[in-house]
Amino acid sequence: MPRKTIFKDLGTVDYQKAWDMQTELHNELKEKKLAARKANLNPELKHYLLFVEHNHVYTLGKSGKIDHLIYNEQELSDRDIQFHKINRGGDITYHGKGQLTIYPIFDMDDFYHDVHKYVRDIEAVIIQILDKYSIRGYRRPEYTGVWVKDGDIEKKICAIGIHLSRWVSMHGLAFNVNTDLSYFEGIIPCGISEKTSEVCSLQSLLKQSIDLDKIKEQIKDSFQSVFDLVYIQQ
């Protein structure tokens, strides 16, 4: 059966506000599941898919190294960039305007118990979207995320970092659509310092600004297809 999912486009919000909302929904799903089990009932499962653009922020995952943040406190302040240490996997990344950040709050009991497959399925969503623009997206075995070839250079267009507790997910992916790539100069993105690897955006590849609303609808449909979702009203 398709998984009932509530879709929310939050617009542009500070990272902390979105993190607080994620945490609230994440805890809600865990608590309902625990209460149902104590009552020997099947929980009424529903999931959330949140779309957001953030104000400028660097986030450092629990396995990341603070040395991968290049800018000092004054440089962060001068550029109006926030910084948060958070509980997702992965290293350091950037979020900002023109980038679509997506948070699936899924109870994986309703899907499957396979973290590796979950990440691969998220990557599949973005690979499907890139195909619509005649761009071949692919995975690299040693890293998470989605990559493309631009000439001889491998470039990362989508970063992924997740957290699961009691098989309920939070955090997710950041897809560079019209992102100002200069903000990646303040970090070593995802901790990858290879000279042959860079960060790119859909805009930089296609040499034109992209309709973000159109991309949102395409990604919403792709999530529905890959994860077998049905969108419901709250």
Q: Which residue range is the domain that position 74 belongs to? A: 3-231
Distances in whole angstroms, Cα of residue 189 to Cα of each of 36, 87, 96, 179, 195: 41, 17, 14, 14, 12
pLDDT in tens, 197-230: 689 999 999 999 999 999 999 999 999 999 999 9
Confidence of residue 29 (pLDDT cuts 50, 70, 90): very high
200 labelled catalytic: no
Copy the structure tokens of residue 73. 């406190």
Copy the structure tokens of residue 108. 């994986």
Percent share of the chain, pLDDT over 70: 97
Number of domains in the chain: 1
Confidence of residue 132 (pLDDT cuts 50, 70, 90): very high
**CATH at 223:** 3.30.930.10
List the catalytic residue out of 159, 181, 190, 202: 190
